[in-house]
Amino acid sequence: MNYPFWDIPHLGSGWVIGLIAIFHVMISQFAVGGGLYLPMAERKAQRMTDPVMRAEWLKQLVNHSKFFLLLTGVFGTVSGVGIWFAIGLTHPEATSTLIHNFVFGWAMEWVFFLVELTTIAVYYSTWNRIDPKLHLKVGWVYAVASVFTLIIINGILTFMLTPGDAWLAVAGTGREAGKFWEAFFNPTYWPGLLLRVGVCTSLAGIWALITSSRIDGDKQPALKTSLVQWSVKWLMPSFVATPLLLLWYLFMVPQSQRALLTLGIDTIGAGTFSAVTRIALIIVITSATIVGVAYYLAYRNPVEFNLSHAVSVLLLALIATGSGEYAREMLRKPYVIGNWMYSNGVRVTYVDRLNQQGYLTHSLWTWNGAGNGPASSYSRGEAIFRGECASCHTMGGYRSLRLLLDGRDRAGIGNFLVMLHDYKPDSPYRRFMPPLVGTRQDVDDLTNYLNTQVNPPAPKKPLLTAQK
């Protein structure tokens, strides 16, 4: 706990990241897929022999590129900054590790991002102002730059799940930079990259359906038919390849993390689903629904396909994308960086030391002298709760500890915390919760704090005074 704590009541700081990330992923991956869609659509239009259809296609692409510029250049950029802000406050230790290990990777990503912002602005503003061949080249420059941002970001994201044995062997020694490429091209890099490429192309088609659905089918039936059907085709390859890529991805995930998924699969007959299994089923159902809606409402009846239909497909894609990102986060449990740092920011290698010296001993941001002087057991327990529990739990909102511990007295709460502290192999919580670190005094302090929250003392009755 070396940084100030960011307290988000009821919702929890983790969900702040999640809500921003879901919308950012929808837009940022559209920025990649749409970056390929635009020059390919422009090239298709330029090769049309019918001058009327060519002119109509190009006019529609001007509108789509404006929509693309505003969505990715404004909302995508702002949400990206929001993620940096949120992760820096919620997981400062993990963010620090990513920055120090991938500082040159982040630098390269920002260079390509600046190229993206510049070229998409030039691309939109130079329609019908420069030679068509040159304009198309500008579009391809944007497409290449956006693909490279995906290539770099994917390496960092997959590292958090599977940093790889080579990097773990030197982690914490100061020699991590020598294993940059091993960490970057980690075990889940390639299946993760291909899965994201599929998502990017699908989102390119889904967002294109938003703009093409607004074409008046009565006045321009041929244009709407060709654009809607061509956009639907962008969805199909990824939905065909995704099941195989997902199996490859899961095969590369460590067995300890796959257990979070197999727990639910093994117990479906008993009606018990793990969180990851439920999310996986949601992804399957929503993806199948997207294919059905896109085929029957868009591809088969393009002229009748309207904005409400397109928004329905977009909302389904939002659910599928959010579920996929949530499942990826859940697969990392109990870590935020696989086998190196637990989800509460405690490094695996620090557990024994903190158990001997105390969790608050090296904390600079505790109050009332906690850890370095006289402090109440309650205030120490609150500081431990904020540092070790609050990255995943709230007291009375999302993953409420009051609900989890409801019905337990102080002894019951203490026994529960001792089980988390001992972290035995047969513990039912070991698969998805980090160990509770600290001395026995730390455990007692946290027990006192949680007991006060779960079993608050009855309010004192006011003394009645005699009436004169």
pLDDT digits (tens, 9 = 90+) for 286-324: 988 999 999 999 999 999 999 999 999 999 999 988 888
356 vs 344: CA distance, rounded Å: 19
- Domain edge (last residue) among 312, 342, 372: 342
% of residues, the chain, pLDDT over 70: 91
The residue written with tokens 């739990």 in the block is 393
Q: Over 60: is that where the pLDDT of 98 sits?
A: yes
**pLDDT at residue 461, rounded to an integer:** 67
Residue 466, domain member (yes or no): no
358 with 220, same domain? Answer: no
pTM over 0.85: yes
Q: How many helices (H) and strands (E) does the chain have?
A: 19, 2
296 with 370, same domain? Answer: no
**pLDDT at residue 362, rounded to an integer:** 77
Q: Which one-letter DSSP state was computed for residue 458?
A: P
Helix (H, G, I), strand (E, B) or coil at 289: helix
Return phi, psi of residue 335, to 5°.
Answer: -105, 160
pLDDT digits (tens, 9 = 90+) for 24-68: 999 999 999 999 999 999 999 999 999 999 999 999 999 999 999
Residue 460, domain member (yes or no): no
The residue written with tokens 């199948």 in the block is 288
225 vs 298: CA distance, rounded Å: 9
Which residues neighbour 286 within 8 Å (Cβ) at sequence distance 6 or greater?
Answer: 316, 317, 319, 320, 323
Residue 59, domain member (yes or no): yes
Residue 247 binned pLDDT confidence (cut-offs 50, 70, 90): confident
Residue 156 binned pLDDT confidence (cut-offs 50, 70, 90): very high
Residue 173, domain member (yes or no): yes
**pLDDT at residue 468, rounded to an integer:** 46
- Domain edge (last residue) among 317, 342, 367: 342
Q: Over 60: is that where the pLDDT of 374 sits?
A: no
296 with 208, same domain? Answer: yes
**pLDDT at residue 351, rounded to an integer:** 96
Q: Over 70: is that where the pLDDT of 271 sits?
A: no
**pLDDT at residue 132, rounded to an integer:** 96
**pLDDT at residue 402, rounded to an integer:** 93
Residue 263 binned pLDDT confidence (cut-offs 50, 70, 90): low
307 with 362, same domain? Answer: no
Q: Over 60: is that where the pLDDT of 269 sits?
A: no
- Which comes out higher in pLDDT, residue 104 or 6? 104
Contact, 339 vs 348, CB < 8 A? yes
pLDDT digits (tens, 9 = 90+) for 417-457: 999 999 999 888 888 899 999 999 999 999 999 999 999 98
Q: Taking Cα atoms as reference points, which of 448, 26, 9 lies closest to residue 199?
A: 26
CA angle 123, 128, 133 (to 5 degrees): 70
113 with 233, same domain? Answer: yes
112 with 52, same domain? Answer: yes
pLDDT mean over 212-224:
96
**pLDDT at residue 270, rounded to an integer:** 44
Q: Over 50: is that where the pLDDT of 115 sits?
A: yes
**pLDDT at residue 283, rounded to an integer:** 85
404 with 329, same domain? Answer: no
364 with 381, same domain? Answer: yes
26 vs 346: CA distance, rounded Å: 31
**pLDDT at residue 2, rounded to an integer:** 60
Residue 4, domain member (yes or no): no
264 with 163, same domain? Answer: yes
398 vs 275: CA distance, rounded Å: 14
318 with 409, same domain? Answer: no
pLDDT mean over 394-401:
91
Residue 465, domain member (yes or no): no
Residue 468, domain member (yes or no): no
Domain with residue 401: its CATH number is: 1.10.760
Q: Over 90: is that where the pLDDT of 403 sits?
A: yes
99 with 207, same domain? Answer: yes
**pLDDT at residue 190, rounded to an integer:** 97
**pLDDT at residue 302, rounded to an integer:** 96
Q: Taking Cα atoms as reference points, which of 343, 459, 417 lies closest to residue 90?
A: 343
305 with 200, same domain? Answer: yes
Chain-wide mean pLDDT for the chain? 89
Residue 169 binned pLDDT confidence (cut-offs 50, 70, 90): very high
- The count of structural domains within the chain is 2
Which amino acid is residue 192, in one-letter code?
Answer: G
Range from 330-334, 396-400, 442-446 that averages highest in pLDDT: 442-446
Contact, 272 vs 242, CB < 8 A? no
Residue 376 binned pLDDT confidence (cut-offs 50, 70, 90): confident
- Domain edge (last residue) among 322, 342, 362: 342
**pLDDT at residue 367, rounded to an integer:** 57
Domain span holding position 160:
13-342
Residue 184, domain member (yes or no): yes
